Amino acid sequence: MQLEFPWRDESTLQHELESVSGFRLDLTLTNNTSTMMSLKRSRVEKKARLRLHRMFLTANAQVIRALATWLRRNRCSRSSTVINEFIKENKHQIDHHSPHHGVRGKDGRLRDLSALYRAINRKFFDNEVDAQILWGRMPSRRARNSIRFGSYSQEENLIRIHPFLDDPFVPEFFVRYIVFHEMLHAHLGVGESPDGRRRIHTREFKRREKAYPEYERAVSWLSDPANLHHMLRSRKKNSGA
Ligand SMILES: [Zn+2]
């Protein structure tokens, strides 16, 4: 499972907010764990100093509009609801992020891949998948213009999961989906068409993948480029690279 990513960055977010609100902004993004947003503004000058949690990099157009409304006036219960919902849905992005937080196992990992694998095997494959699963290696810096979340090697009967996914920012349902996807490869095998080409995502594969209950949720999380942006950014920071 591999993907290329363009993304939204801080200045894009600032431009979007400025153009929707009509305010000139001094925007700071934070990893604050208690205050998700704070504002100092001059309505007369249409200027504001705004501090937002980094999670807002992943905000959709509706949330951007709600933020703009909040900038322009004090109270608006409809936009407060939109913003509060967004914050609730993005709790997983709140910084338990720093190396000092987050419960890590003996292997130094936040997530237990074998446990995810066993649960998925039981639930979706009648325990029939018999492959190994491991965290992949952290890629070198220059290899970071695309990301392979997971891979399955038929020769080694081995599933590798990208270490970027061992991050509290990435919701567990997304990691489960990637593990499921690679297990489905292990289960169905890699076929060959009559012309000798490898057939990987066959019609049967796609049908089974779409039937996976968290498929839509995972795909929609992935379709927001800001999520990838955030994931890479936080990994770079934490690894000091
Ligand atoms: Zn695949």
Give the list of residues 6+ apart from residue 104 with CB closer than 8 angstroms, or none. 110
Query: Rounded to an integer, what distance in angstroms lies between the CA atom of residue 45 and that of residue 70?
Result: 16
CA of 94 to the centre of ligand 1 (A): 30
Record the tokens describing residue 130, joined without a space.
Answer: 């018999």
Residues with CB under 5 A from ligand 1 (ion): 1
Task: Point out which residues pair with 115 in neighbouring strands.
Answer: none
Q: Would the pTM count as exceeding 0.75?
A: no
Give the CA distances from residue 216 to residues 138, 174, 210, 220, 222, in Å, rounded to whole numbers and listed in that order: 28, 10, 8, 6, 10
CA of 111 to the centre of ligand 1 (A): 21
**Percent of the chain predicted with pLDDT > 70:** 85
CA of 218 to the centre of ligand 1 (A): 14
Q: Of 93, 102, 86, 103, which Cα lies nearest the Cα of 30?
A: 93
CA of 181 to the centre of ligand 1 (A): 6
Query: Rounded to an integer, what distance in angstroms lies between the CA atom of residue 33 and that of residue 27?
Result: 18
Angle at 177 between CA 108 and CA 141, to 5 degrees: 55
> Angle of helix 215-222 relative to helix 203-211, nearest 10 degrees?
100
Q: Of 58, 241, 55, 100, which Cα lies nearest the Cα of 163?
A: 241
Q: Locate tokens 């200027």: which residue?
A: 47
CA of 178 to the centre of ligand 1 (A): 9
CA of 33 to the centre of ligand 1 (A): 36
CA of 204 to the centre of ligand 1 (A): 12
Angle at 14 between CA 11 and CA 19, to 5 degrees: 125
CA of 176 to the centre of ligand 1 (A): 14
Q: What is the pLDDT of residue 75?
A: 78
Task: Point out which residues pair with 160 in neighbouring strands.
Answer: 134, 151
pLDDT at 230 over 90: no
Q: What is the pLDDT of residue 240?
A: 42
Q: What is the pLDDT of residue 215?
A: 95
Give the CA distances from residue 18 to residues 40, 61, 76, in Å, rounded to whole numbers and listed in that order: 15, 13, 19
Q: What is the pLDDT of residue 198?
A: 75
User: What is the Cα 144 distance to its own chain's centre?
Assistant: 16
* Tens-digit pLDDT profile for residues 26-48: 998 887 777 888 889 888 899 99
Instruction: Compute the average pLDDT of residues 65-83.
Output: 88
* Tens-digit pLDDT profile for residues 158-192: 999 998 899 888 999 999 999 999 999 999 998 77
Give the list of residues 6+ apart from residue 19 with CB closer than 8 angstroms, or none. none
Q: How many CB atoms are located within 10 Å of the residue 219 CB?
A: 13
CA of 128 to the centre of ligand 1 (A): 19
Q: What is the pLDDT of residue 142?
A: 57
